[in-house]
A and B are shown apart, each in its own frame.
Chain A
Amino acid sequence: MNELLKTENVSYGYNGCPFFKGLGISVYEGELIGVIGENGSGKSTLIRLLTRPAEDGKIYYRSRLLSSMSRMERAREIAVIYQNEECSFPYTCFETVMMGLYPHGITKPDKRSLDFVKGVMELTDTLCFASKRINCLSGGERQKVLLARAFAQKPSLMLLDEAMSALDISARIKMTDIIYDKCRREGMTALLVMHDISLAFARCDRLLALKQGKVYAFDKPRALLDKKFFREMFNVEVEIDSDNKYFRIIM
């Protein structure tokens, strides 16, 4: 597998206090990575770090310094959904999804882009409320629209910061499966910040576990499947019931 994203000695701090120090991770094409950790462990900060040129250290995207890429180039490659994205204006869901095509120079819907956006909205179950205003939707519906916008961006890398937190369980599984499929079939790579541990262990290729701004573990879910990991990461006692094919985490 080719390396898609690599951070080298990246450090970041708030108001002079260091938070991430010497962060070094590598992400490969086609991987679905779950970013897990307690509140305040640095998951959202990591997502932000990966979307902009590093102030301290180096971030490479396809062996190229992220800082050498133009804003538009980055937007064509990397789609991001931040935590709690809100829109104060009454754009329709269709208009919001269309904005995902902006990095590709498509500013008005023509037949081709219209069909593409329809397809993306159908995939994310948002076509049925395409003409509804985004500020009138429920939290879950809004998250689906934002996911559709991210898919419309046709990214090679998707960074989602709790972008499915308001979805019901079936929608959450469906969206994760869509992302999983895109990683498998189209070679897309995704980093998903998630609190749904079961889903993270069940679907992700690797899990990046963060604790107080440090990488606690970055490995395959199976390799992290032990009581000590849960105790040290989340301060919870679990029972793990597993065989070669299936596993169950009982909290």
Chain B
Amino acid sequence: MDIDSALKKEKIKISLCTVLLLAILIAGMAASACMGAMDISTGDICRVIANKLFAAGFDIPGNVTAVVWNIRLPRILCAVFVGAGLAVAGVIFQGILQNPLADPYTLGISTGASFGASLAIILNILWGIYLPVPLCALVCALLTLASVISIASVSDGFKSSSLVIAGIIAGSVLSSGVSFIKMLAGENVSAVVFWIMGSLSAMGWSDVLMAAPVVIICTLLASVLALRLDIMALGEEAARSLGVNTAALRIVLLIIGSVMTAVCVCICGVIGFVGLIVPHLLRYMLTAKNRVLMPLSALFGAVLLLCADSAARILASGEIPVGVLTTLIGGPFFIFVFTRRERRGE
């Protein structure tokens, strides 16, 4: 196939995929908003939104408004932004670590957040104080990032291998810390375990307002650096010879990806596999170009987490933590995709 028709075909494929993902996302959001113990129609949901945003004055019962506006919509929007954020962070981490199997949690940022959250939960229980769990998780995640950067910066040129090693060291230490906190928690351990498993239940507008700007700004910033990230995939030295300041690029993208991951994790705990599967699938199905991959991953990540969360809500009489579901389904699916690709020699 000649270049012109290959480029044209790729453009059509990307446009179709974007439209399809957008359609699924909108339909998924509408379906998810209707779904639940209380039967609410799509029309009523639109009316509640119109009432809240434009003071439209539709006659809607107070309990319907409360369920839609205070429970379902924040949860849906959190799923969308957290899914998008984790997927874009996955693209960034795979790019800067030059490893298609890396994910937002490779550098121990999520373990840092888990440690902070566990510490806050246990101190709140033991001392009867009120430490905000998401804030503690965020602070610890950022401190983890700072320590990973300082360990890795010892190497010449801030190499990806040093980053991975620093991440493993930080992750291991913090993971032991989480285990220690669990031991201290005694019979209250379930609170810590449930947070770590990752769930989108009890999301509020404050969570949406925390996730949305961070995810949008970080995605935009990362998109600006997308081409440089492409060139870095050619290898450290090759990228430098093409004029890319690899050390600076790596540190900037590391901060962008980590902040996005930290915010996502501190809102809803550790949700695995979204950041690994989404970029990986899109890269092999559509394109490796980060300029296209980042927005598409954001869309696909949003769709995936929204669907997983909706499934988590309806699959069991209680509720399965969505982090458990994404890992349960994502793991085998990833093995299937990976082995299929390897067999085909791609």
Chain A residues within CB distance 8 Å of chain B: 48, 51-52, 71-72, 74-76, 78-82, 85-92, 94-96, 99-100, 102-103, 107, 109, 114, 117-118, 127, 130-131, 133, 135-136, 153
Determine which of B4, B6, B238, B244 lies in contact with A85 in the assembled complex, contact meaning CB atoms within 8 Å.
B238
Query: What are the residues of chain B within 8 A of A86 when measuring CB–CB?
Result: 235
Q: Using A75-B243, A136-B345 as known contacts, say yes or no to A88 and B289 having CB atoms under 8 A apart.
A: no
Q: What CA separation (Å) do A78 and B2 show in the bound complex?
A: 30
Q: Does B52 have its Cβ within 8 Å of any Cβ on chain A?
A: no
B235 partner residues in chain A, CB cutoff 8 A: 82, 85-87
Are the CB atoms of B243 and A87 closer together than 8 Å?
A: no
B284 at interface by CB-CB < 8 Å: yes
A117 to B3: give the CA distance in the assembly, Å: 10
Contacting A at CB under 8 A, from B94-111, are 94, 98-100
Distance in angstroms between the alpha carbons of A247 and B283 in the assembled complex: 52
- Specify which of A78, A81, A89, A100 is in contact with B233 (CB 8 Å cutoff): A89
Chain A residue nearest to B341 in the complex (CB): A90
Question: Would you give the shortest CB distance from B226 to chain A, in whole angstroms?
Answer: 9
Q: Are B100 and A89 in contact (CB under 8 A)?
A: yes
A102 touches B288 (CB 8 A): no
A85–B237 CA distance with the chains assembled, in angstroms:
9
Docked Cα-Cα span, A79 to B100, in Å, equals 27
- B59: Cβ under 8 A from any A Cβ: no
Tier of interface size on chain B: 20 to 34
A46 to chain B, nearest CB (A): 14
Q: Which residue of A lies closest to B231 (CB)?
A: A99
Please tell me if the beta carbons of B243 and A88 are within 8 angstroms of each other in the complex.
Answer: no
Given A99-B234, A102-B227: A80 touches B288 (CB 8 Å cut-off) = no
How far, in whole Å, are A231 and B283 apart by their CA atoms in the complex? 52
Q: What CA separation (Å) do A92 and B2 show in the bound complex?
A: 13
Q: Tell me whether B288 and A91 are in contact (CB under 8 A).
A: yes
Are B3 and A88 in touch, CB under 8 angstroms?
A: no
- Name the A residues within 8 Å of B284 (CB-CB): 90
Instruction: Evaluate contact between A88 and B242: CB separation under 8 angstroms.
Output: no
What is the CA–CA distance of A89 and B96 in the complex, to the nearest angstrom? 12
CB distance from B249 to the nearest CB of A (A): 11
Of A79, A80, A88, most buried by chain B (CB within 10 Å of CB) is A88
The smallest C-beta distance from A250 to any residue of chain B, in angstroms, reads 38
CB < 8 Å A-B pair total: 91
Which residues of B pack against A, CB within 8 Å?
1-4, 6-7, 94, 98-100, 227, 230-231, 233-235, 237-238, 240-245, 283-284, 288-289, 345-346
Contact partner of B99 (CB less than 8 A), chosen from A71, A74, A88, is: A88
Q: Is the CB of B241 within 8 A of A75?
A: yes
**What are 9 A-B pairs at a CB distance below 8 A?**
A48-B237, A75-B241, A78-B241, A80-B241, A85-B238, A92-B6, A99-B231, A102-B242, A114-B4
- Whether A130 contacts B242 in the complex (CB less than 8 A), given A89-B233, A99-B231, comes out as no
Considering only CB atoms, which chain A residue lies closest to B289 in the complex? A95
Q: How far is the CA of A74 from the CA of B1 in the complex (A)?
A: 35
Whole-angstrom CA separation of A130 from B9 in the bound complex:
14
For A48, give the chain B residue with the smallest CB separation.
Answer: B237
Report chain A residues within 8 Å CB of B6.
92, 94, 130-131
**Which residues of the other chain, A, contact B283 by a CB distance below 8 angstroms?**
89-90
Residues in A neighbouring B2, C-beta threshold 8 A: 130
A88 lies within 8 A of B237 (CB): no
